Amino acid sequence: MDPADLTIAEAGARLRSGDLTAVDLLASVRRRASMTEAILHAYLTIDAEGATASAVEADAALQRGDDRGPLHGIPVALKDNMVTRGVETTCSSRILSGYVPPYDATVVERLRAGGAVIVGKTNLDEFAMGSSTENSAYGTTRNPWNPDRVPGGSSGGSAAVVAVGSALGALGSDTGGSIRQPASLCGVVGMKPTYGLVSRYGLIAFASSLDQIGPITRTVDDAVTLFEAIAGHDPSDATSYRGDFPDPRADLGKGVEGLRVGIVSELSGDGIQPGVAAAFQATLDRLAGAGADIREVSLPSTEYALSAYYLIAPAECSANLARFDGVRYGPRIDGATVEAMMSATRRDGFGPEVTRRILLGTYALSAGYYDAFYGQAQKVRTMVSEDFKDAYAEVDVLVTPTSPTTAFAVGERADDPLAMYLSDICTIPSNLSGDPAISVPVGLDDAGLPVGFQVLAPALGEGVMFQVAAAVERLSGFESRPALATSLGAA
């Protein structure tokens, strides 16, 4: 087997046995990237020099008996909205072109401390605003299952590199589904942790009360490994959770017998594509056959979650992106006055979707409209959180399709923002509540495109979430890989 097709767990075992070196593993992953990038455009930057140095050091450390953990020597990719010392960080925006940070994000520091090899930075929708990775200033990323389709977004680059084997794992960020939705569309595992469990220090903010960094991998076990490496309190992040949280591996192999699994009725009926609905029902049947207690649960306020999100997130984006003015970061467009310079820089630097959301957010926060829009949206957010709390009093986990559709065609929704926003209808509620959620691939539709199954759990409920996700993975038996990866792996 080509080492690029190994899971993190498999590669780690071979590295420790001496059957594989970190240098050879990196070379295999790079070969895969060299053969796929012309088609996919999933990477913005490949850090050849830095990754090689890390792989050499990883091998030397293992020779010394210095094993830094399960990610030691493993090639990992980073979404390009996480700052990396000495490596360009752009958020896929012209306004940050050429920006080279002087420090690493906390998650990057933790990966490096664990011996991971950072392959490069992946493409995304500009400032993480989008559901297709078509909004990047540096070009669209394509889906490895069908390059005429989108990979989802905004972490489309991270999902694509894991699916195709040009990284064994990746980090994405999830503000309204931006890890889980592309994971679903690319046939990989994507997980959003409880808000605050993973530091946001060094994540270039989109919407600070919603953003969360999480893993994208090929298996649930690998997702746990990557999550464990980056989770934990960080004094540099004021919103970082200070308490203890349960061992996410404690019940990983226990199955689902006796667990109460709630189907969210508002997110599992109308509007779900037939192929997605069929795979979702088949997975429910397998869970029931394995002893789970399947019941329907209503979350009435989720009907308004999408509308609330598209007031809260743009409002926070409007405030966060005010710092990008041509004075401190990136390129500058000269003007006769400071105001003219800032206006020209922002007009030239931001793409249409980012501009749209800044304008929407600024309007929602403006005098005379704050209470009617932003204030009301926050009340809906509270209602969503209360609905979730009530539901978790009745069930252990909730389940929905991850995305209402499989991967749609490139350009199909580019001129229809509402249709694009509806891509995240199943994922947004857990961002509003701050609870964890994970997408697991469970099958293919009639067009041969992957379908994701979403498991949601209460705050700090990563343990039961991973327990159910592992059972879903085992029961579905989904081991398919995109043809782009399998044909190259056999070559």
In sequence order, what are the beta bridge partners of 370? none
79 carries an active-site annotation:
yes
Q: Which of 154, 423, 430, 476 is catalytic?
A: 154
Q: Which residue has the tokens 């979730």?
A: 388
178 carries an active-site annotation:
yes
Cα–Cα separations (whole angstroms), residue 144 to 41, 189, 411: 10, 15, 16
Q: Which of 178, 184, 199, 430 is catalytic?
A: 178
Q: Which of 28, 79, 173, 301 is catalytic?
A: 79
154 carries an active-site annotation:
yes
Long-range contacts of 417-421 (CB under 8 A, 24+ apart): 417/353, 417/356, 420/130, 420/131, 420/132, 421/131, 421/306, 421/310
Contacts of 368 (CB under 8 A, 6+ apart): none
Quote the radius of gyration of the chain (alpha carbons, Å).
Answer: 21
Nearest to 422 by CA among 270, 301, 306, 312: 306
Cα–Cα separations (whole angstroms), residue 337 to 323, 325, 340, 344, 347: 18, 13, 5, 11, 15
The one-letter code for the residue type at 193 is: P
Structure tokens of 395? 């069930």
Structure tokens of 135? 């909004």
**What is the full DSSP assignment across 421-450?**
HGGGTTTHHHHHHT--EEEEEEEE-TTS-E
Catalytic residue positions? 79, 154, 178
